[in-house]
Chain A
Amino acid sequence: MSTGDVLALLSVLTAGTAMGWRLARVRARAWGASGAERLGQGFPSLAGTESLRDVLDSIVRGFSAGADGAPAVLRLYDPRTRLFEARAFAQVDESARGAVSNQDVTREQFDALAADASRTGCCLRVESTYAFGDQVLRTPSRGLVLVPLEDRGVDPLGYVAMAVGGERVAWRLGQSRGLEALAAYAVLAIDRAMLRGELESRALALAAASRNLKELERLKDNFLSTVSHELRTPLTSVKAYAETLLRQSGELDEPTAREFARVIVQESDRLNQVFDNILRMSPLENGRGRMVSQDFSVLDVCREVAERIEPELQRKGIGFELVAPRADVMLHGDRSALHHVIHNLLDNAGKFTDSGGHVRLLLDEDRELVRILVEDSGIGIPGEEAERVFDRFYQVDGSSTRSYGGPGLGLAVCRDVVNWHCGRIWSEPAPEGGSRFVMLLPRHGLIVRPHPRDADRVGARNQREAFYRLATALVAETMRTWIVSIMLVDDDGGGLRIEAALGIPPDVVRDVYLRQGESVAGAVWSEGRSIHVPDLDDDDRFKGRLNEVRYPTRSLLSCPLRLDGEILGVLNVNNKIDGTPFDDGDRLLLEALADRLASGLRDYRVFASSHETLASTQEALQALIDVRRQQVTPLREEVARCGLETARRLELDDADLRALAFALRHYDVGLAGVESALLRCSRPLTSEERLRIQEHVAHGVTLAAALGNVGPILKILLHHHENVDGTGYPHGLRGEAIPLGARIVRLVDTVAALLHGDARREAVDIDVALATVQAGVGRAFCPRLTPLFLEVVTERRDRLEAAAPEDTTAHRAPIVAPATAWEIEPVGAGTGEETR
């Protein structure tokens, strides 16, 4: 800011001081001392070189000083959360800052206030009786005034709230043209600073986009190279043998000719399998329209595949065995896709097993699941590759050495098919060496009730099914269960029907019809409250009343699907995967999920929303599922529970606990937008790479916002990397100004990351993790919450230790966003201050 600018501003301010805001005061109190130069130093320049945080600090100090040192808070509006967030304070002590920050000011509250409050000049005077978040600033002798900061956009930029002495002062302040000028100047300065931040992040995004393009180009090359290798290998055999047969037809003896013909037939089959893999790859297949569900015998499918593959293995000198229960194993799913998957897995096992080894196909089931295992005695998969083998573009690392042959497209297709079935697949070391692929499939796959309106709209049924597939998968993944049902109140409001279900027999889905008050779901509908049955056998409420539950149930949770106060239906889950009963934390989590799904459910039911809305809902659901699938481990679940328990002891209300329960499971959803190579990178990151990872926070908020109105959750997601000393991101909030939930997630994230380790850091034990957190109190972690959290972790130590991964499965450690280095560095392992 040049001296000329300063003088110009000063003259504007001076002109406005006649009504009580006197120049002397401005000079003496507002900016400390004499002279226009000091004014220029104290107030943000329009050059926009200061960070937004410094700009906001100067502005709020300016306002406060101009109003006789009144306590002041500056809130900026975030259109994603629809909240006004407290971003800077003046003359407000630390505990009051926390109180202010914890009072959410919504857009609706602000608009109502702007309409109701009496306005003097640019000032809104807030009556003492008016319910409004910033009233906590008010004292008996000081009233509340607001100065809106508005640019010409659709949304307000924010406002400054001040507690000023008495009505008269407030009135005079409103009359002051100096204040008006200050507000206008503040808007400009904030706009500039934000623009600069925006430009920086755009530049970053642009650089990332160009890198992504290059990466895509590389992936495309790799893909083509994989495909051509997989196609040409069998084709080469077919051609070579066929040509030899043709050229030497007269000279070949009968057994040789037969053998050649057999190779041709077998390699043609292999070629066909490769084609099938390519066609089944989702991008080429347009939403997997080819997949259809039916009831079929998995045992039959296993036998069919075995019949085809056994002779091949035998010729290679590999023993083969199908181990299956005597009784039939039935599954509701896509028969041909499963046939293909089992074939891929056996083919893959054969590829990496030498003569003299064995391959085993094991089929097994329990009440809810079909379990298919493929074991071999081959070379095994190195730990760090175990997850990557399912990557679509894995195998070709660009070089021509196939370090361990490479599974090619086959395993990527397996994962796609298993995901479609809401199942799970992973690889692990086999007990006797070699590798083992484990595939778990819910016995009753997803069923979606056909809807009369489906016929009115092209593709409506597919779209609805795609939505329900994502919605049930999200609930199943988040709640750790295999049984999910979404019930909706039918059109005439007479009863509840199952609209979509996973893990429930088709006749139950078809027949269940509940009136209000009838059974568990009917009771949830009529009472509008969740019902939680930890253990059905011990629960007197439902003994003999659950006639409609014709599928095995031990523990259940049922909660209303509510939208704008109206109950649309009921969301049910049964039986956790690990066999433990649902607890109250699970109840909060399910309620949070129900809130997320409700608006999507309405949209899909009536198709009221645009295609774009539906698409962004789907993208958000997919991201939540993907990140969750990559991250979920029993240990992470346990640490999350510690976080929720900490919040409970702080006596948060149900709504806040719900938001936290959801955020604790999905805070890293934005990682869906970060290249996985970056997350797996084992060298120290450059500062630019760190910025790219930091972008996951903003991306996560955008994704989560696509799932409807989730203000409190978005606040947690947005701030879960803030440090109490103000060195975190994205806003550099300090201390109590960071939302409580975000401070808890920060602790949970750090402890989970320490216990798991990642590409750059070894896992540490609980003692080291606790000491590391303790050492970060006052820097990254909240001094008020941390002792409580550590207490909870210590109490639950046994559970955490039981959930810790063993060495053999350590390679399944989830991806985590690398936190800033120091906080994750075990105590005594060097300073690691490089990030700051």
Chain B
Amino acid sequence: MKRILVVDDEKYIRNILDFSLGGEGFEVITADNGEEALTKSVDLHPDLIVLDVMMPKIDGFEVCRALKTKSDTKDIPIVILTARDRDEDRKKGKDAGVDRYMTKPFSPGRLVDLVHELLGLKQPD
């Protein structure tokens, strides 16, 4: 079973992602801030991370940068899911090494499709 780490400081967003991804047969673990995200990434080795940007303590871009520079985490695909939609934000994401950039408000269905795609799984139709 593929394990997905969902990082967001909004409980409702964590819950709906848990529901949507869990319903597709993924094991979902969650974190509500950047620090926790780093710890859980290292300790629990998720197969993919869905990451918010504006969070307490450490922001999503920084988490991404940190993970992408560590040898044991650099291959984990990271999907940024954020309300920040300006070009400069996208560029920041790119510089930090994110794999995909999705803006809020988002469609849970499309996020699930994206996760399947990144994990190289057959897309449900």
Chain A residue at minimum C-beta to C-beta distance from B60: A400
Q: How far is the CB of A264 from chain B (nearest CB, A)?
A: 10
Evaluate contact between A401 and B19: CB separation under 8 angstroms.
no
Evaluate contact between B19 and A400: CB separation under 8 angstroms.
no
Evaluate contact between B10 and A244: CB separation under 8 angstroms.
no
Q: Which of A233, A236, A243 has the most CB of B within 10 A?
A: A236
Identify which of B41-49, B66-74, B104-112 touches chain A: B104-112
Q: How far is the CB of B53 from chain A (nearest CB, A)?
A: 5
Chain B residue at minimum C-beta to C-beta distance from A232: B83
What are 5 A-B residue pairs whose CB atoms fall within 8 Å in the complex?
A: A236-B83, A238-B105, A239-B107, A400-B89, A402-B54
Are A400 and B12 CB-contacts (below 8 A) given A236-B104, A236-B105?
Answer: no
Evaluate contact between B12 and A263: CB separation under 8 angstroms.
yes
Chain A residues proximal to chain B, CB less than 8 Å: 225, 228-229, 232-233, 235-241, 243-244, 247-248, 256, 263, 267, 316, 399-405
Other-chain residue from B34, B84, B105, B108 in contact with A235 (beta carbon distance below 8 A): B105
Chain B residues proximal to chain A, CB less than 8 Å: 9-13, 15-16, 19-20, 23, 34, 53-62, 83-84, 89, 104-109
CB-defined contacts of A247 to chain B, threshold 8 Å: 108-109
Evaluate contact between A400 and B59: CB separation under 8 angstroms.
yes
Chain A residue at minimum C-beta to C-beta distance from B92: A400
Chain B residue at minimum C-beta to C-beta distance from A224: B86
Q: How far is the CB of B92 from chain A (nearest CB, A)?
A: 8
A400 and B54 CA atoms in complex are apart in Å by 5
Other-chain residue from A241, A244, A316, A405 in contact with B11 (beta carbon distance below 8 A): A316
A248 and B19 CA atoms in complex are apart in Å by 11
3 nearest A-B pairs in the assembled complex, by CB-CB distance: A232-B83, A239-B105, A236-B104
Q: Which of B10, B20, B83 has the most CB of A within 10 A?
A: B83
Other-chain residue from B13, B57, B60 in contact with A240 (beta carbon distance below 8 A): B13
CB-defined contacts of B54 to chain A, threshold 8 Å: 229, 400-402
CB-defined contacts of B10 to chain A, threshold 8 Å: 233, 236-237
Evaluate contact between A241 and B12: CB separation under 8 angstroms.
yes
Evaluate contact between B107 and A243: CB separation under 8 angstroms.
yes
CB-defined contacts of A401 to chain B, threshold 8 Å: 34, 54-59, 62
Q: How far is the CB of A402 from chain B (nearest CB, A)?
A: 6
Q: How far is the CB of A573 from chain B (nearest CB, A)?
A: 46
Chain B residue at minimum C-beta to C-beta distance from A233: B10
Other-chain residue from A235, A237, A243, A403 in contact with B109 (beta carbon distance below 8 A): A243
Chain B residue at minimum C-beta to C-beta distance from A244: B108
Are A236 and B13 CB-contacts (below 8 A) given A400-B59, A401-B54?
Answer: yes
Q: How far is the CB of B32 from chain A (nearest CB, A)?
A: 10
Evaluate contact between A232 and B104: CB separation under 8 angstroms.
yes
Other-chain residue from A233, A256, A399 in contact with B83 (beta carbon distance below 8 A): A233
Chain B residue at minimum C-beta to C-beta distance from A266: B12
A contacts with B: majority SS: helix
A239 and B110 CA atoms in complex are apart in Å by 13
Are A240 and B16 CB-contacts (below 8 A) given A247-B109, A405-B56?
Answer: yes
Evaluate contact between A237 and B20: CB separation under 8 angstroms.
no
Q: How far is the CB of B85 from chain A (nearest CB, A)?
A: 8
Are A244 and B16 CB-contacts (below 8 A) given A236-B104, A236-B105, A239-B105?
Answer: yes
CB-defined contacts of B58 to chain A, threshold 8 Å: 401
CB-defined contacts of B105 to chain A, threshold 8 Å: 232, 235-236, 238-240
A642 and B57 CA atoms in complex are apart in Å by 47
Chain B residue at minimum C-beta to C-beta distance from A235: B105
CB-defined contacts of B34 to chain A, threshold 8 Å: 401
A405 and B57 CA atoms in complex are apart in Å by 9
Chain B residue at minimum C-beta to C-beta distance from A221: B86
Q: How far is the CB of A665 from chain B (nearest CB, A)?
A: 41
Q: How far is the CB of A225 from chain B (nearest CB, A)?
A: 8
Other-chain residue from B12, B53, B57, B108 in contact with A243 (beta carbon distance below 8 A): B108
Taking A400-B60, A401-B55, A401-B58 as known contacts, 20 extra A-B pairs with beta carbons closer than 8 A to each other, sorted by chain A number, are A225-B84, A229-B83, A236-B10, A236-B13, A236-B105, A236-B106, A237-B12, A239-B105, A239-B107, A241-B16, A244-B16, A244-B109, A248-B23, A256-B19, A400-B53, A400-B61, A401-B34, A401-B54, A402-B56, A403-B57
CB-defined contacts of B13 to chain A, threshold 8 Å: 236-237, 240
CB-defined contacts of A235 to chain B, threshold 8 Å: 104-105
Evaluate contact between B109 and A267: CB separation under 8 angstroms.
no
CB-defined contacts of A400 to chain B, threshold 8 Å: 53-54, 59-61, 84, 89
Are A228 and B16 CB-contacts (below 8 A) given A402-B54, A403-B56?
Answer: no
Evaluate contact between A244 and B104: CB separation under 8 angstroms.
no
Q: How far is the CB of B58 from chain A (nearest CB, A)?
A: 7
Q: How far is the CB of B115 from chain A (nearest CB, A)?
A: 15
A316 and B32 CA atoms in complex are apart in Å by 14
CB-defined contacts of A263 to chain B, threshold 8 Å: 12, 15
A404 and B57 CA atoms in complex are apart in Å by 8
Q: How far is the CB of B13 from chain A (nearest CB, A)?
A: 6
CB-defined contacts of A256 to chain B, threshold 8 Å: 19
Q: How far is the CB of B94 from chain A (nearest CB, A)?
A: 15
Evaluate contact between A244 and B55: CB separation under 8 angstroms.
no
Q: How far is the CB of A710 from chain B (nearest CB, A)?
A: 50
A239 and B107 CA atoms in complex are apart in Å by 7
Q: Which of A232, A400, A404 has the most CB of B within 10 A?
A: A400
Q: How far is the CB of A214 from chain B (nearest CB, A)?
A: 17
A614 and B15 CA atoms in complex are apart in Å by 56
Chain A residue at minimum C-beta to C-beta distance from B12: A237
A53 and B10 CA atoms in complex are apart in Å by 63
Evaluate contact between B12 and A239: CB separation under 8 angstroms.
no
A244 and B105 CA atoms in complex are apart in Å by 13
A135 and B108 CA atoms in complex are apart in Å by 89
Q: How far is the CB of B65 from chain A (nearest CB, A)?
A: 12
Q: How far is the CB of A256 from chain B (nearest CB, A)?
A: 8
A54 and B23 CA atoms in complex are apart in Å by 85
A402 and B34 CA atoms in complex are apart in Å by 11
CB-defined contacts of B20 to chain A, threshold 8 Å: 244
CB-defined contacts of A240 to chain B, threshold 8 Å: 12-13, 16, 105-108
Chain A residue at minimum C-beta to C-beta distance from B17: A240
CB-defined contacts of A225 to chain B, threshold 8 Å: 84
Other-chain residue from B12, B53, B83, B84 in contact with A267 (beta carbon distance below 8 A): B12
Evaluate contact between A399 and B59: CB separation under 8 angstroms.
yes
Chain B residue at minimum C-beta to C-beta distance from A400: B59
Q: Which of B23, B54, B89 has the most CB of A within 10 A?
A: B54
Evaluate contact between A244 and B19: CB separation under 8 angstroms.
yes
A229 and B89 CA atoms in complex are apart in Å by 14
A218 and B12 CA atoms in complex are apart in Å by 31
A241 and B109 CA atoms in complex are apart in Å by 11
Q: Which of A233, A247, A399 has the most CB of B within 10 A?
A: A233
Q: Which of B19, B34, B83, B105 has the most CB of A within 10 A?
A: B105
A235 and B105 CA atoms in complex are apart in Å by 6
CB-defined contacts of A403 to chain B, threshold 8 Å: 56-57
Evaluate contact between B83 and A239: CB separation under 8 angstroms.
no
Evaluate contact between B56 and A404: CB separation under 8 angstroms.
yes
CB-defined contacts of B106 to chain A, threshold 8 Å: 236, 239-240
CB-defined contacts of A405 to chain B, threshold 8 Å: 9, 56
